[in-house]
Amino acid sequence: MFSASFATSSLLRYRSLPDPSGPVKTGLAATAVGPYNQGVVIKDGTLYVSGCIGLRPGNGEMAGLDFRAQAKQALGNWPRLVKAAGGMWAIS
């Protein structure tokens, strides 16, 4: 199970991914900046995500000049990739 801790002490937990494996591509998260996929689901349902950085979906620009803005955007892109792969996040 994947979990990420945030400054608010909330936990985001990955719940489930579909059985079909393959690349994940979505316009809801920043596009890959290079010859790779945003993410890949393997046969056991594990989602591997490429280096998420603070790029805004759509325009491909950095979310801001400071660490906080870029980190917030990068962490915001993860749930979108999980959703595109057919999974979901739960906040606990």
Q: What pTM does this model have?
A: 0.66
- Catalogue the E-assigned strands of the chain: 3-5, 11-14, 22-24, 39-41, 47-49, 89-91
At 72 the pLDDT is 94
Q: What proportion of the chain, given as a percentage, has pLDDT over 90?
A: 15
Cβ contacts of residue 43 below 8 Å, gap of 6+? 19, 21
At 34 the pLDDT is 79
Domain ranges of the chain: 15-91
Distance CA 21, CA 65 (A): 36
In terms of CATH, what superfamily is 15-91?
RutC-like (3.30.1330.40)
Distance CA 42, CA 58 (A): 27
What's 85's DSSP letter?
T
